[in-house]
Amino acid sequence: MIRVRCGSVGSLTDVMIPHVPELVAPRAEAVVDLDAVRHNVGLLSGTAARSGAATMVVVKADGYGHGAVDVGRAALSSGATWLGVATLEEATALRAGGITAPVLSWLHVPDEDFDPAVGAGVDLSVSSREHLAAVLAAGRRTGRTVRLHLKADTGLGRNGAPPAEWAGLVDDAATAVASGAAEIVAVWSHLAQADEPSHPMQDVQAAALDAAWRHVRERGFTPLRHLANSAATMTRPDLHLDLVRPGIAVYGLDPIAQPSASPLRPAMTLRARVALVKTVPAGHGVSYGHEWTSTAPTRLALVPAGYADGVPRRLNDAGRMRVRIGEEIRPVVGRVCMDQVVVDCGDVDVRTGDTVELFGTGEGGGPTAREWADELGTIHYEVVTGMRGRIRRTVRGTGTGAGANNNGAGTPAGHVGGGRW
């Protein structure tokens, strides 16, 4: 509540009114453009459809930091028919958000509580006989037939049953199907080097998955096959199979660096408001250690976002971090601090409250998540999933449209042809 004094002089009255944080412009926010998500999903699902494949949009890690329920709703209204997540909690959160479309969850510890996910009709990936037994036990407790995606390790070396254990897993799954306890929905795997479209490992893995799938077919089942991630969806139509699983591309970030402009539209912009502007003389040091010192009088802008919020401390180690203020691109100077960075504005007219774009679409030469990743020696996946702390997530765009009725009512938005395209 906020106390406000109302009335005329001599007759002031204290009135308590609700404080609504959403009505106050945030000091720093990650703005998510759901119309960009819809655009990207439309491109990806259209590409898959030309190969006869359906599309599962991956919304793990809270939609790569963009908001899983909001992104899921947008994706399902734009051509996707499935959603994919890692954990059981991520899957049940989608159900709690009103999404009723098929959801696959694939990363579990066998002693987890599978009951809520099985009860919510979530498809579950299994990679071992022990894993399968735990899932089937949840089916018995809940009285539900479990929907299985059998995962084969075709060369990535992470999750999935290795070839030596595949027959045993299939035997147990077949027994469960015969008893009415399970349905084998799909056989699947994940690519190790999809960001190199011509790498021979892709064909090795595709052949291994085909062998695993044929083994299941020989038992009388007709499961779906899925293998392609974002990169393979965009570059290898021969690997689309029955279902593709784009992730990072959904959010407008190209999984493969390319010289030409990408048709994808980045969906996240990180921005903050200037907290303070001041002029300093030549020879004035900035931030801890005075690693930067002004060489002439200049205007400095204080931006309230730091490493506690997802702006990595080492991002400006080489002094190359830049931001966009209005139409101007200006350098960050000095060390990134826990709560703030300082921008050298030169003689640019910057005022308190002005918006500073730390990364976004790249429009007007502005900084991008890929630039951050390149500077940090990492990938842009890590950048967009790293927003945290006091960064408010704000959702823009409708995120819904024709076909949105296949994913339920949901919760309000705004909680904190082949070849290269």
Residue-range domain boundaries for the chain: 34-250, 268-396
pLDDT of residue 406: 35
Is residue 64 among the annotated active site residues? no
**Candidates 3.40.190.170, 3.20.20.10, 3.40.1190.20, 3.40.50.2300; CATH matching 34-250:** 3.20.20.10
**pLDDT < 50 regions, the chain:** 4, 9, 401-421
Are 231 and 195 a contacting pair, CB within 8 Å?
yes
pLDDT of residue 375: 95
**Sole residue written with tokens 């083994």:** 215
pLDDT of residue 398: 81
Q: Which residue out of 64, 251, 278, 288 is catalytically annotated?
A: 288
**What one-letter code names the amino acid at 22?**
E
Closest CA to 311 of 292, 289, 285, 339: 339
Using DSSP bridges, classify how beta strands 276-280 and 322-325 pair: parallel, antiparallel or unpaired: unpaired
Judge whether 129 is annotated as a binding position. no
Measured in residues, the chain has a length of 421
Q: Rounded to two decimals, what is the model's pTM?
A: 0.89
Q: Which residue out of 60, 64, 151, 307 is catalytically annotated?
A: 60
The SS3 assignment for 366 reads coil
Instruction: Tell me how far apart the alpha carbons of residues 254 and 72 are, in angstroms, rounded to a whole number.
Output: 19
Judge whether 158 is annotated as a binding position. yes
pLDDT, tens digit, 9 for 90 and up, residues 208-255: 999 999 999 999 999 999 999 999 999 999 999 999 999 999 999 999
The hierarchical CATH code for the domain 268-396 is 2.40.37.10
The two tokens of residue 64 are 């790569």
